[in-house]
Chains A and B, each alone.
Chain A
């Protein structure tokens, strides 16, 4: 095959056009790097391979962070969302999350439009088959058609395509996603590089033809109404027409059918060696592991406005097609349902993320970055967030600047990269709010306050976004001042109304700033009673949350200070823990395996005690001194 040299050398070449790839390419281009996005198929840019929904608890936090740094996911969701709902509305602002069902086609179109409109970003359709290295740096990439492209940095976002293998019952074939070929040549090449490779698996449910579903037997779940947006700079006007979702359940006869055929599932025959996510089990897994349950919930999600296809979320399976047909038809409302695409399980290669720096640069190849499912994560949101981080760091690297990444107390993205690069993962990693120890400060309402300033500094954020942000920031500050200034007098004529709205009694004068700290008090109640008339309710709410959580934030500041000090105490890697007498054998084993590189990481190991940490500190210092002597 003749080799054709591509004339231009790119600062950043991104391989893959999924959620990680597009955010990576966009971020690099926004920062001014000459960027090339190489994808097997331009038609699949922004494709949602799994369910047609964006967001969720913990996930929306990531989407908002991507948005705060100028990314595309939130904007595309606002333009494609056909059903919006706020989860955890009553449990507090930090764990609330907006979720959207999206029209697949609209979502893909929105992403493609944003990508095509981005200055400095070129798209090229071809399959990458090789990375050519020279002295631990990628020099060029080679495509299947023999085009050789020089790159200062490369971001690899190949999703489930590396060594992808699809399973339906006893049938199995190679594939990166139903309908798309895997990237096997590249997978082989990468396996030759010094990265630790492992297998993971995930699955999808069968899709249904909506015309064959009897909605009268389903429970309807409407959206919240059209007043919420994902992006800090978008308005509800961008939302398309809204559609409801539906809910149904499996039943005993469904479970009987599944139980009878469980041996035909590749999950149970041992054909699949990869580990699946515990929080996203296949229906056969749920039926076997939770045998006492008589039903499981299914969310029936519309695939889009102009298609009748449905995504029955909750019955992911790799059972043989005939079994899928049988059990689907046993479900209420699905008696005559036609399966348009069978459910399947997919097994794929991922690289151990402990081989990455927190900038997502690989430790072994200094200008190569990995983002998305290739790092063992699952979910569009997790992929997008990593893509953005890898893209911005590739851009910094191409310009010979030092990298940037957020810390655990700054962003869910910080939690994500720290978890991955410190501890690795043995199942597809998904974000949960419980992973964030500084959860109360990492809210979906303040991602812009947390990240847009740094995004501005890095050049990730447009002028318009920056101006809007400053405006908002100023408004919040003003509201806080107003709350500080305003005193409620008990004899004020508006007080009875305020007492009625909040359930609080006011017997002596109280500052608004102290009043909003009371648990039951909301900003809208205060407004209803006649205060804060000229203030935007969203802005006031955010100011109120900041005030309510002051005490917790102050305590967390102390914890952060401590954690930072512990982070500065480096532990040499590898460290010989057998020398540290006095550790329990369990702790010693865990430490030896995870090899934390500082005391902060060591403190997160389960079973850790202050005494063990104290002991470790002494041995680490002793080790350092002895090496100095030697």
Chain B
């Protein structure tokens, strides 16, 4: 998902074909790009665009894959995502497409290792979250939810497995109130999280540097297509160019900026101002300079990587010179793998720093929790104990996707420590 001109939603797995059929209203033809509309449950079009279907194992992940190239607007894309999820898909974990590709023998080990790094970062984040000492409001609230659901489950499971004891909580008003309060809390958290998410998608990487050091060439190399006009004339890029690429499944917004220098040209001056503002907001800055003539930036507010471009003009080999200095040749596409890995790593760090800023998979997990809790209330009202327990289990499981799963053993342990059960 990105904010560029075209938004791509990719679905992978055994149900992809089925989803394609229901979304497009026809069976997809493998490997043929077909234009049409993407339809909702009432068969009304949500968006129109190109659908591409790849049959496993001849696809990126090795599974059946459906790609929906629609309009890039965030709202439209969210609608498409929601529809696809209603049809049985779920949000991918960071790096999951690549992980599947590796597990299905579609890519080799070295590629997969970079993915492991990425997942690493996100699981380090989960680990950090479970330490319960995490700052961050979102995390705190999700943990509070988890604790409440755990508590409710303790009561419900105790009532079921220890029917002989004097603990029939199922008809207890306090239990209903706890469920209700949990649901209210969840709804408000969801609203706040949704608001926060739209702006936070992906990592922002700014390509900056003096004029004519090859910033646009680098962007092009990364994009693998000529989207920026590259000429020999300094100052060709007068505005910031904004493109989204995917590095190991993570959306990365690349911003190419006007070269930073004193300029008389008013349009160029405006471009430079925009570049400075982009730099301030960036997660990572690729400071591009020529290998023969290294120019250090005067000041950079955030994390940056020195990119020594045009190493083809020197006798230097591409690769890391030091931890934060990389030699490349955008023209010959040399050293770009290292660059991508470096960006992915930074993305990972950002994930872990910014744990639970509410990524789409968190929202989808919370939504699922909400649906199950609604059922819990319904079944409690009808005192259908085992269905209450079943829905609670699912709610808890979806929350566990964020905070880590709870086992039956945890649950039983809590029951035994809290209630005097057994004879």
List residues of A whose CB falls within 8 A of some B CB.
51, 57-58, 87-88, 90-95, 277-281, 286, 289-290, 293, 296-297, 299, 313-314, 316, 423, 432-435, 437, 439-440, 519-520, 552, 581-587, 603-612, 614-615, 617-619, 621-622, 625
Contact = CB atoms under 8 A, between A and B. Distances in A.
A434 B161 contact: yes
B127 interface: yes
16 contacts: A278-B416, A280-B423, A296-B420, A299-B423, A313-B423, A435-B412, A552-B387, A582-B120, A582-B124, A586-B130, A605-B407, A606-B406, A615-B119, A617-B99, A618-B99, A622-B112
B381 to A, nearest CB: 9
Given A92-B384, A609-B405, A621-B112, 18 more contacts: A58-B161, A90-B385, A91-B159, A91-B386, A92-B387, A279-B412, A433-B161, A434-B408, A437-B393, A583-B123, A584-B124, A586-B130, A606-B410, A607-B130, A609-B402, A611-B93, A621-B102, A625-B109
Given A87-B163, A95-B386, A615-B120, A434 B407 contact: no
Contacts of A93: 386
A583 B127 contact: yes
A289 B422 CA distance: 13
Nearest to B405: A608
A91 B389 CA distance: 10
B390 interface: yes
User: Chain A contact residues: over half helix, strand or loop, or mixed?
Assistant: loop
Contacts of A296: 420
A617 B123 contact: no
Given A614-B96, A615-B119, A91 B160 contact: yes
Contacts of A297: 164-166, 423
B103 A88 contact: no
Contacts of A435: 408, 412
Nearest to A443: B386
Contact of A607 (B103, B166, B404): B404
* B102, B121, B161, B405, most chain A CB atoms within 10 A: B161
Interface of B: 93-96, 99, 102-103, 109, 112-113, 115-117, 119-124, 126-127, 130, 157, 159-166, 170, 379, 382-387, 389-390, 393, 400-413, 416, 420-423
A586 B386 CA distance: 32
Given A279-B421, A582-B119, A57 B407 contact: no
B411 A434 contact: yes
Contact of A612 (B123, B160, B386, B389): B123
B161 A607 contact: no
Contacts of B412: 278-279, 432, 434-435
| Nearest 6 A/B pairs, CB to CB | A584-B127, A582-B120, A91-B385, A92-B386, A279-B422, A611-B123
A619 B115 CA distance: 11
Contacts of A88: 160, 163, 385
Contacts of A581: 116, 120
B161 A606 contact: no
Nearest to A53: B423
Contacts of B116: 581-582, 615, 618-619
A51 B164 CA distance: 15
A408 to B, nearest CB: 11
A525 to B, nearest CB: 15
A406 to B, nearest CB: 18
Contacts of A583: 123, 127
A87 B164 contact: yes
Nearest to A93: B386
A552 B390 contact: yes
Nearest to A617: B103
A437 B413 CA distance: 17
A438 to B, nearest CB: 10
Contact of B386 (A94, A587, A611): A94
A461 to B, nearest CB: 29
Contacts of A619: 116
* B165, B400, B413, most chain A CB atoms within 10 A: B400
A494 B95 CA distance: 60
Contacts of A314: 423
Contacts, number: 169
Contacts of A582: 116-117, 119-121, 123-124
A95 B385 contact: yes
B354 to A, nearest CB: 15
Nearest to A314: B423
Nearest to A619: B116
Contacts of A609: 123, 126, 400-405
A443 B342 CA distance: 54
Given A608-B404, A609-B404, A281 B422 contact: yes
A440 B386 contact: yes
* A313, A581, A609, A611, most chain B CB atoms within 10 A: A611
A95 B102 CA distance: 42
A88 B94 CA distance: 44
Contacts of B423: 51, 280, 297, 299, 313-314, 316
B130 A434 contact: no
B163 A612 contact: no
A277 B415 CA distance: 13
A263 to B, nearest CB: 21
Contacts of B410: 606
A58 B386 CA distance: 13
Contacts of B102: 618, 621
B420 to A, nearest CB: 4
Nearest to A205: B423
Nearest to B421: A279
A277 B416 CA distance: 10
Contacts of A618: 99, 102-103, 112, 115-116, 119
A64 B118 CA distance: 49
* A279, A435, A619, most chain B CB atoms within 10 A: A279
Contacts of B95: 614
A609 B120 CA distance: 12
A554 to B, nearest CB: 12
B35 to A, nearest CB: 33
A95 B160 contact: yes
Contacts of B406: 606
B87 to A, nearest CB: 13
A621 B421 CA distance: 45
A433 B160 contact: yes
Contact of A278 (B103, B160, B403, B422): B422
Contacts of B383: 90-91
B93 A610 contact: yes
A382 to B, nearest CB: 15
A94 B393 CA distance: 15
Contacts of B115: 618
Contacts of B157: 434
A588 B413 CA distance: 21
A299 to B, nearest CB: 7
A511 B189 CA distance: 41
Contact of A584 (B109, B126, B389): B126
Contacts of B409: 423, 606
A277 B404 CA distance: 27
B81 to A, nearest CB: 18
A93 B387 CA distance: 10
B407 A584 contact: no
A316 B423 CA distance: 7
Contacts of B94: 611
B407 A606 contact: yes
Contacts of A277: 422
A57 B161 contact: yes
Contacts of B162: 57, 279
A443 to B, nearest CB: 9
Nearest to B99: A614
Contacts of B416: 278-279
